[in-house]
Amino acid sequence: MPPAPDRPLVRPGGLVQTRGMTTSDSIPVDVVTVFTDAEGQYGNPLGLLRSSAATRGREQAIATALGFSETVLVDEIVEGQERSAAIRIFTPAAELPFAGHPCVGTAWWLAEQGSPIRRLRVAAGDVEVRYDGDITWVTGRASWAPEFEWHQLDRPADVEALDATAFIEGAHYAWAWIDETAGHLRSRMFAPAMSITEDEATGAAAVRITDLLQRDLVIDQGEGSRLLTRRRDDGWIAVGGRTERSEPRILELAERE
C-alpha cells in the first residue's frame, strides 16, 4: 500500500522530501557518525541542522523524515569566553531533554567548523564540553536520561545473540562484562518506545549505567561502537568518544499551508 499523502519519505541519493506537496525549501543536513571505533568505523549517525524560519515548527517532522535515532537543531551560538550553543534534540518520535550521542556529535561538528564550544544548552540543563585529542567529552546527570530496563547477561555472546525484534515496548539495555576488572562491557540497546528498534550507540544509557555501577567504563555497543565514561566527584558523569563526518543530505520541506 502506498504511503498516505504528505508522509515524509527518504529518497535515493540522500534526498528527503514529502509526497504529494510542492516543495519550497531545500535545506542541507550535515551528518556525522558518533562513537566510532579507533579506525573511524561503526558509530551512530546524527543529523545536524541550523534552526531557521524554514525549520521552526517542523522540527519533529524533520527528525521523523530523516529517520536517525536523533537529529539536532542548533538554535543559537553565544560568542565570548564561555562560548556556548543552544540545541534541541529529536528522535523520530519525540523531543528529548538530553542525549549523549547528539551532544558529543554537535560539539565535535561545531569544533570542526572552527567554532569549538565550552558548553551546550539543552532542555535538561547546561552540558559541559571538553576536547581531548580525537575524543570529545560532554557531561550529564543520570537523572536527565530516560529510564531503562537493565538486562545483565553472563557473556558478551549472550548479548550478541539477542533478537532486537523481541523487544516490543519500553527501553531496554542488555549488557555483559568483557573484562570486569578493567570496567569493559558489551552492550545493546532497544527502544521501541522511542521508535528505535535498536540504537547503535547510546550516550544517555552510558551515563545511566555508569551511575548504576558507580565506576568508569569502556562500552562496546551495537555492531562495534565505542563509548567511554568517567565519574566525577561532583556527581556529574562524562561520556566521550570519536566522531567522523558522513555523507550530507538535502532536505526538501513542503510548502506551508
Q: For residue 9, what pLDDT is reported?
A: 40
96, 202: one domain: no
Q: For residue 251, what pLDDT is reported?
A: 87
Q: For residue 76, what pLDDT is reported?
A: 86
β-pair partners for 85: 77, 120
125, 20: one domain: yes
> Which CATH number characterizes residue 206's domain?
3.10.310.10
Q: For residue 96, what pLDDT is reported?
A: 96
Q: For residue 82, what pLDDT is reported?
A: 80
The 10s digit of each residue's pLDDT in 113-146 is 999 999 999 999 999 999 999 999 999 999 999 9
DSSP string, 74-115: EEEEE-STT-EEEEEEE-SS-EES--HHHHHHHHHHHHHTT-
- How large is the angle between the packed helices 100-112 and 203-213, nearest 10 degrees? 120
The 10s digit of each residue's pLDDT in 85-94 is 999 999 999 9
In angstroms, the CA 71 to CA 58 distance is: 12
The 10s digit of each residue's pLDDT in 159-206 is 999 999 999 999 999 999 999 999 999 999 999 988 899 999 999 999
pTM of the model: 0.89
The 10s digit of each residue's pLDDT in 216-234 is 999 999 999 999 999 999 9
Q: How many domains is the chain partitioned into structurally? A: 2
Contacts of 247 (CB under 8 A, 6+ apart): 14, 31
167: domain range? Answer: 143-240
127, 19: one domain: yes
Please check whether residue 196 lies inside any domain of the structure.
yes
Q: For residue 153, what pLDDT is reported?
A: 98
- Whether residue 10 is predicted with pLDDT greater than 50 in this model: the reply is no
164, 216: one domain: yes
Please check whether residue 2 lies inside any domain of the structure.
no
104, 217: one domain: no
Please check whether residue 1 lies inside any domain of the structure.
no
Q: For residue 256, what pLDDT is reported?
A: 64
150, 129: one domain: no
| Mean pLDDT, rounded, of the chain | 90
Please check whether residue 3 lies inside any domain of the structure.
no
| Residue 137 CA to its chain's centroid (Å) | 14
